Structures are given as structure tokens and as C-alpha cells.
Homo-oligomer: A and B are copies of this chain.
Amino acid sequence: TKRYSITLLPGDGIGPEVISVAKNVLKLAGSLEGIEFSFQEMPMGGAALDLTGVPLPEETLSTAQRADAVLLGAIGGYKWDKNEKHLKPETGLLQLREGLKVFANLRPATVLPQLVDSSTLKKDVAEGVDLMVVRELTGGIYFGKPRGFGTNEKGEDIGFNTEVYSTHEIDRIARVAFEIARKRRGQLCSVDKANVLEASMLWRKRVTAIASEYPDVELSHMYVDNAAMQLVRYPKQFDTIVTNNIFGDILSDEASMITGSIGMLPSASLGESGPGLFEPIHGSAPDIAGQDKANPLATILSAAMLLKYGLGEANAANRIENAVLDTLNRGFRTGDIYSTGNKLVGCKEMGEEVLKSV
């Protein structure tokens, strides 16, 4: 038996519910492939703030750093919304990404045939959408310095941030994206604002340079405003998208909504080495927390990404992915993806049905 240690970060809102379901699925899929997991559950986000006064306790980070992979539920909630910046749940998430050095954020947006009607896009536009946003996650305006508050030459208060990318940061995220595009349909679209921003000009130059290492991948470039339009107009034109931290934040959320089922979408954040961070793209949904209404499938599919990208256990990952499809085919739906004719279930029951299919 292979053994892996997994840090679980349930977080806030619906986080604990979906993590508890995903943990069981991970266990079963692993055991059927001769894999054994040890789990360490650690506080993070608002839960950690309440418990320890900080959104990412040192012990949580160091435990995560020593793990083979990290599975996160969701963080945040009204309760901590007015906190100062260093006491926001979100700040804990940014510290976790930085602490794990996970610079490559993979966000698939796939329209499953079973759920095509959930999209607000017309059926012929939505069906068959299968794209992957590769977002740079530890650089750019999220982390750039200088940042802060001050006064300008006119004596007015200002707030400022720095968008900055180095060749090294661009090259490594570009390579991740080219590798992924190569394993998909061989098309990579790099999104920037190179007609205005110097940081984007360097981005475009380096991505173009790295392309020579991947002659089998077709590279194109698109301005971010146009990309925001094209995702609505004709999302099927995209295979793999690579972009910076802030554009990736915006475009991956837009792409996810185009699928109409963000309760279904997982994500993976990977570094050069060390544990990856895996989490559903949805938020903590405080309004339905504790009511057994959450859709656990995004977290379950995040566990599948953990197996595939984090541990290289493709067989166990496929088991989970197939189990999710099978459960959908058997008609089980949580409220967010329910349509008449299907069977409405809660978070726990959905988890049990997936277990039956693993």
C-alpha cells in the first residue's frame, strides 16, 4: 500500500460539510487502488480567526507544507467581512498560496451534457464547452510591491498596488500552461493587456519565446477585454487559457458561470515541488451553511484533481470522476443543479450516492 498524508482545511460556511463528504470519497477510491491516507484537519480562514486570532495559523501552514497534498473547503463569511486586511479570511488564503508556493492555478470549466440546461447561455453555445484557465497565482498585482496608502504630490490620499511580473515567473507559468495544452487539444490562448501595460508586454514576449519549446501547441494572444467578450460569444473557441493573477481571477469566474454549475467546478494550485492545494471554486455560501444543502461535487472533483495532479494517482482520480458522472446519470441532484425529473438530494446523500458509484 502507498501512503499519503493529506491536510484538510474545512474552513467556513459550507466548507466543513463538503470536506467531510469528499474525505469519505477520497478514502474509498484510494482503498480500491491500494492507497491509504492519513488526514490532518487544521483550522483556516474565519474558523481560524475565531480560534486563534489569525486567518492562517503557523501550525496550519507548517502542517500543510509537510503534507503530500492539501484539500480546502471554502473560507469567508459576513462575520469577518469588516475585519482589517490582515485579519480577513481571504488574507489567510493568499498567505497559504504564498506559503505553499503554488504559482499555477488550474481551473477547468466544463459543461457536462447532463447539466447543459443549467447554463444561462443558449444550449448550442454552452454545450461542449471544455476549457481550462491556467492562472498565475503568486505574483502580479496580488503580491506586487510597493503597495499601500499614502499621499500624492497634491496632498490627496492615495491607495496603490503594483502589477509586476518577472521573466522567471512568466516562463514557469507559461510552461505549465503549454504542458497542459499539449495534453488537451493543443491550443493555448494567452490573455493580456499588452496594448496598454508594460507588465503585459513582457508577458506576451516571454510566452511567445517559450512557445518555441512546444511546437506542437498552437499559441494565440488575446486582450483581456476581448477575452471577456469571447467567453460569452463563443466559449467553445477556447481550449487552454493562460493569464495573470487578476485577469485569471476575473476570467475563470466568468468561465465557471458560463457552465451554469459552479457547484461542480474544482481547482488545483500547483508549485514547482511540494504539496498542491486543491479546492472547489465556489465560496463558503454562509446563507446555506449547516443545512445539508451544499453541492459536494466540486470538492469531490477537487479530490480527483488532488489524486491526478497532486499525487499522480490517475486511476483513483478516474474512479472519482466516473463516479460523479454515474451519480448524475442516475439522476441525483443538489438544489443548485436541480431540474424537474431528477432526484433532489442534500449534501450527505449526494456523497453517499457517489460512494456507491466509486
A interface with B by C-beta (< 8 Å): 85, 88, 90, 94, 120-122, 125, 141-142, 144, 147-149, 152, 154, 156-168, 193, 195-203, 224-226, 228-234, 246-247, 249-254, 256-258, 262
**Which of B159, B167, B258 is A199 in contact with, Cβ under 8 Å?**
B159
**11 additional A-B residue pairs with CB within 8 Å, beyond A225-B252, A228-B251, A229-B262:** A90-B195, A94-B196, A141-B163, A149-B198, A156-B168, A158-B164, A160-B198, A228-B257, A229-B256, A229-B257, A232-B257
Q: How distant is the Cα of A167 from the Cα of B151 in the complex, in angstroms?
A: 10
Interface centre among A196, A199, A203 (most CB of B within 10 A): A196
A307–B347 CA distance with the chains assembled, in angstroms: 56
With A122-B121, A166-B152, A229-B253 as contacts: A160 and B195 at CB distance below 8 Å:
no
- Give the shortest distance, in Å, between A16 (CB) and chain B (any CB): 22
A154 touches B166 (CB 8 A): yes
B199/A161 in contact, CB under 8 A: yes
- For A251, the chain B residues whose CB sits under 8 A away are 228
What is the bound-complex CA distance between A250 and B253, given in angstroms?
Answer: 13
CA distance A90 to B223 in the complex (A): 12
How many copies of this chain? 2
Verify B201–A228 contact, CB threshold 8 A: no
Instruction: Return A37 CB to nearest CB of chain B, in Å.
Output: 32
Q: B residues within 8 A CB of A85?
A: 201
Residues on B with beta carbons closer than 8 Å to the beta carbon of A252: 225
Q: Which residues of B contact A149 (CB under 8 A)?
A: 198, 202
- CB-based contact B160/A164 at 8 Å: yes
Could you say which residues of chain B place their CB within 8 Å of the CB of A203? 159
Name the CB-closest residue of B to A94: B196
Identify the 8 closest CB pairs spanning chains A and B, nearest first.
A159-B202, A229-B257, A160-B164, A228-B254, A225-B253, A156-B166, A159-B199, A159-B198
Are the CB atoms of A162 and B165 closer together than 8 Å?
A: no
Closest to A227 in B: B250
On whether the beta carbons of B201 and A224 are closer than 8 Å, the reply is no
When distances are taken between beta carbons in the complex, the residues of chain B under 8 Å from A258 are 232
Please, could you name 17 A-B residue pairs with CB atoms under 8 Å apart, sorted by A?
A120-B121, A120-B125, A120-B232, A152-B164, A156-B166, A159-B200, A159-B202, A159-B203, A161-B163, A163-B163, A224-B250, A225-B249, A228-B253, A229-B257, A229-B262, A232-B232, A232-B254
What is the bound-complex CA distance between A195 and B224, given in angstroms?
A: 21
Select A165's contact among B159, B246, B254, beta carbons within 8 Å.
B159
Q: In the complex, are the beta carbons of A144 and B122 less than 8 A apart?
A: no
